Amino acid sequence: MNIQFKFLILLAGFMVSSMLHAQDIEHDPATLLKQTTNNIFIKLNENMEEFTADPSGLQQLIKTELMPLLDIDYAARLILGRAGRGIEKEKIDSFSQCMSTLLISRYATGLLEFRSTEQLQVLPLRGELNEKLTRVRSRLQLSKGGYAPIDYAFHKTAAGWKAFDVIVEGISYVTTYRNQIMPDVQANGIDSVIARLSSGELELTD
């Protein structure tokens, strides 16, 4: 899958996350997901011409409405893996901010293409919610036919349910990034990785 399509899928994941964050488990997940995606697409469709011409407005929409639903700090630590041991919190925070900026930019590109709430089908939860790890299964209808299975990994924090990983067709985005970032940090140090991510010199593949 290409980058744009994968981040289209990730955006769908955040919409699932907002569903769980906004309400508790007594509500129907599919209904909440539909309500959330409708709200997002209303804003997108109302400002499509503006967002297409100037992505900064769309990036701000993502930053304020979608990014708070991701536990980016936890995801950043998972991405760093063993290489993150012993690194000062301030540098972990800087790395987390770099990842946040990267994701916002890529989500903006994907969101312009992901316009139909009917593409996403949320499957029934299996068993009870687990605060340490709950997987929400869904599938995304592909434009060429068929479906892509997607799992979203959540845990419950003091701020509510947060998504920290997305598994597309069995491939975890946290693992994909860790395979690129962790050896780089081990070889060149966290400062080098942060600097190259910030400048765009270090490009992550999906």
Token digits for 197? 């991510």
Could you state, in order of their start, the residue ranges of all structural domains in the chain?
3-199
- The model's pTM is 0.78
Query: Which residues does residue 138 pair with via DSSP β-bridges, in sequence order?
Result: 122, 150
> Do the Cβ atoms of 53 and 32 come closer than 8 Å?
no
The pairing of strands 134-141 and 120-122 is antiparallel
Q: What is the DSSP letter of 144?
A: T
**What CATH class has 3-199?**
alpha beta
Per-residue pLDDT of the chain (206 residues; tens, 9 = 90+): 554 455 555 555 555 555 444 444 444 334 444 455 566 667 887 888 898 899 888 888 778 777 777 889 999 999 999 999 999 999 999 999 999 988 888 777 777 776 555 566 777 777 787 888 888 788 877 777 788 887 878 888 887 778 888 888 888 989 999 999 999 999 999 999 999 999 999 998 87
